[in-house]
Amino acid sequence: MHDDPPILVCADLQVEYLTEGRSHFIADAEAITSRCLQLMTLWRNNLWPVMHLKRIAQAAWFNPASNLTDWIAGLKPRPGELTFEHPLPSAYSSARFAEYMSNMRNIRCVLLGFSLDETILSTVVEGFHRSHRYQLVGDAVACRRPGAGDGASYKPAVVRVIGNYAGIQESAELIEENTGITV
């Protein structure tokens, strides 16, 4: 028997990360959003489940009243796709998300998007402790550049940490193994 297709979880694909001068600005966001769009297109074309996470907070960043929390054009949720707003880094800080995930049995989640060192890391670790299975798309995730230290080694270090709690796969590999598969 084949497993159900994994749920594609799109983390925090919000304008905040594309806005220069903002503290959460991601320099390589264009390449990351391109890969995210490729994977979203694959999932949507196969009618596989897609879920969106949106970071909100009552602060100077991710303020729900600001347009900076809006979805990135072209990566917006479509009708029928689940969306969850979370106030803290972990998506499990959304009671709706935590309840949804606790009611799902034997699901796999493929995770992509932004804030690798905040939303993605904390969601994967918390999910691991709840026996939820995650797989990270290593070249379809990004984090802001840290304020100090070697920025080039920061992302790979965070990905290695996440590898203790989730599988890691590249987008080309994921696309190749799932092209032509139908539900």
pLDDT tens digit sequence for 56-99: 876 555 555 567 788 999 999 999 999 999 999 999 999 999 99
Check whether 137 has a pLDDT greater than 90. yes
Say if CB 83 and CB 109 are below 8 A apart.
Answer: no
pTM: 0.88
Say if CB 136 and CB 120 are below 8 A apart.
Answer: yes
All domains of the chain in start order, with CATH: 7-178 (3.40.50.850)
Check whether 45 has a pLDDT greater than 80. yes
Pairing, β 82-86 against β 108-114: unpaired
And the tokens for 81?
A: 């796709």
Query: Please, where are the H alpha helices in 91-163?
Result: 95-103, 121-129, 151-162
Helix, strand, coil percent content, the chain, rounded in steps of 5: 40, 20, 40
Q: What are phi and psi of 30, to 5 degrees?
A: -60, -45
Q: Find the mean pLDDT for residues 120-140.
A: 96
Q: Find the mean pLDDT for residues 30-59.
A: 91
Nearest-angstrom CA–CA distance, 12 and 71: 8
Q: What percent of the chain has pLDDT over 90?
A: 63
| pLDDT at position 182 | 46
Element (H, E) at 24: none
Q: What percent of the chain has pLDDT over 70?
A: 87
pLDDT tens digit sequence for 91-129: 999 999 999 999 988 889 999 999 899 999 999 999 999
pLDDT tens digit sequence for 172-181: 998 888 775 4
Distances in whole angstroms, Cα of residue 68 to Cα of each of 56, 61, 73, 76, 115 = 10, 8, 12, 14, 15
